[in-house]
Amino acid sequence: MRFIHIADVHLGAEPEAGTAYSKRRPDELWETFSEVVSLCEQEQTDLLLIAGDLFHRQPLLRELKEVDYLFSKLTHTEVVLIAGNHDHIRKDSYYRTFSWSENVHPLFGNRPQYLVLEHLDTAVYGFSYEAKEILEPRYDGLCAQKKAGIEILLAHGGDAKHIPINGNALKRSGFDYVALGHIHKPQIVVKGMAAYAGALEPTDKNDTGKHGFIRGEIRGGETRISFVPFAKREYLHLALNVDKMMTARSVMDRILEMIKERGAENLYKFTLKGFRDPELIFEREWDEVSGNILEIVDETVPAYDFRKIREENRSNLIGRYIESFEDCVPESIEWQALCEGVQALMESRGGM
């Protein structure tokens, strides 16, 4: 039995994407989701597992119709889904009354349930969130009931406020595979048996790394899975070392080179480190440099000649301040305090 496992699609979200892509990113979430469904048809995948947070918030009726239309075009694939904390089953949720295509099997109850797909000799277990937060570790005692030759658990959670998950409990549960959602970075929880697919597309600037889905196969009691990168864009956090010879424009040019090297389609946060010319000021709006820069953090410190400054200011506060840090080690906390203090004192007197 061959499956694709996705989670945290977050349809309806408006991801951080800078000026270049902000208007396009919500549509790209739909496009990537649609492409995964099309891949299921192309590969004649047996089962599409959706481990919660298909939507970023309560789905609109028209959105459910669009999703179901995509599912209805599948000629071979069965779809099983649960609701997560973002799209939890509220009392007024359209999830409660929507009529899905016959190949779509929602597990929307708030207590464990299962369905058996006889032609696949597969049972899929799961339940959905009825609130934004569930503090109890509800998966700890959940075990396979031997309803079919292959048994799978759909689960969503993994932190203190969203169903804490115990890897050892999952290992003892008897499931052939546990398809996990909620944690946005793909990761293995139990080798060959339980994994987070991660978010299909990154939606937050801290969702760094590759994103996509898990492709798997269960045959002869053995589960094999592999992660497939599939997202259109990636959030990258990069550090740029600055030295005192660099100008503001040379820093900008180096940033543009780094973007070109790693892909203009990606979204960037840069952290500037090192020692800059004390007179260097970054005044330009970074959006003017590249529309896919989300943030630039300046952690550089002025490359002051402390000996020269001390000699010129022996009779005032600046000189005495430098003398008090005479034995500090470069790049230590004391060194940082020295740099920041001298910078503040120099600025207060109008610079050098």
Euclidean distance between CA atoms 287 and 308, whole angstroms:
38
128 in Cβ contact with 107 (< 8 Å) = yes
Q: Quick one: pLDDT at residue 87?
A: 98
Tell me, yes or no, whether 75 and 221 share the same domain: yes
Tell me, yes or no, whether 301 and 201 share the same domain: no
Tell me, yes or no, whether 131 and 279 share the same domain: no
Mean pLDDT of the region 248-255 = 91
232 in Cβ contact with 33 (< 8 Å) = no
Q: Two tokens at 155?
A: 């689960």
Nearest Cα neighbor of 244 from 278, 269, 209 is 278
Q: Which domain holds residue 296?
A: 235-348
Tell me, yes or no, whether 9 and 150 share the same domain: yes
Tell me, yes or no, whether 65 and 146 share the same domain: yes
Q: Quick one: pLDDT at residue 180?
A: 98
Tell me, yes or no, whether 103 and 154 share the same domain: yes
CA of 22: how far to CAs of 172, 204, 260, in Å? 44, 12, 20
- For the segment 147-189, what is each residue's pLDDT rounded down to a tens digit? 999 999 999 999 999 999 999 999 999 999 999 999 999 999 9
Tell me, yes or no, whether 312 and 189 share the same domain: no
Q: Two tokens at 23?
A: 């208007």
Tell me, yes or no, whether 140 and 263 share the same domain: no
Mean pLDDT of the region 120-133 = 98
Q: Quick one: pLDDT at residue 352?
A: 46
Tell me, yes or no, whether 206 and 293 share the same domain: no
Q: Two tokens at 73?
A: 């075009």
- For the segment 283-327, what is each residue's pLDDT rounded down to a tens digit? 655 655 677 898 899 888 888 878 888 888 888 888 888 888 877
With a cut of 90, say whether residue 275 has pLDDT above it.
no
Euclidean distance between CA atoms 222 and 103, whole angstroms:
26
Tell me, yes or no, whether 116 and 216 share the same domain: yes
Specify the number of domains making up the chain. Answer: 2
DSSP label at 286?
A: G
87 in Cβ contact with 56 (< 8 Å) = yes
- Burial class from Cβ neighbours inside 10 Å (0-12, 13-18, 19+) for residue 131 reads exposed
3-class SS of residue 297: strand
Q: Which of 181, 214, 229 is the last residue of a domain?
A: 229
Mean pLDDT of the region 178-206 = 96
With a cut of 90, say whether residue 133 has pLDDT above it.
yes
The CATH number linked to 193 is 3.60.21.10
Q: Which of 187, 206, 229 is the last residue of a domain?
A: 229
Euclidean distance between CA atoms 279 and 147, whole angstroms:
72
18 in Cβ contact with 31 (< 8 Å) = no
| Average pLDDT value over all residues in the chain | 92
Place of tokens 């658990």: 153
Tell me, yes or no, whether 202 and 267 share the same domain: no
Euclidean distance between CA atoms 156 and 107, whole angstroms:
12
- Burial class from Cβ neighbours inside 10 Å (0-12, 13-18, 19+) for residue 342 reads buried
Q: Quick one: pLDDT at residue 99?
A: 97
Mean pLDDT of the region 253-263 = 93
- Edge-to-edge strand list for the sheet holding 194-196: 113-117, 122-126, 150-156, 177-181, 194-196, 187-190
- For the segment 36-76, what is each residue's pLDDT rounded down to a tens digit? 999 999 999 999 999 999 999 999 999 999 999 999 999 99
Q: Please give the residue that has the higher pLDDT: either 31 or 245.
A: 31
Q: Quick one: pLDDT at residue 22?
A: 85
Tell me, yes or no, whether 64 and 187 share the same domain: yes
Structure confidence at residue 273 as a pLDDT band (50, 70, 90): very high
Q: Quick one: pLDDT at residue 284?
A: 59
Euclidean distance between CA atoms 253 and 289, whole angstroms:
9
Alpha helices in the chain (DSSP H): 18-21, 25-43, 61-72, 167-171, 248-262, 306-312, 317-323, 333-348
Mean pLDDT of the region 97-112 = 97
DSSP string for residues in 227-275: EEE--S--EEEEEEEE-TT--HHHHHHHHHHHHHHH-TTSEEEEEEEEE
- For the segment 217-238, what is each residue's pLDDT rounded down to a tens digit? 999 999 999 999 999 999 999 9
Q: Which of 229, 254, 282 is the last residue of a domain?
A: 229
Place of tokens 């000026």: 19
- Burial class from Cβ neighbours inside 10 Å (0-12, 13-18, 19+) for residue 146 reads exposed
Q: Quick one: pLDDT at residue 199?
A: 98
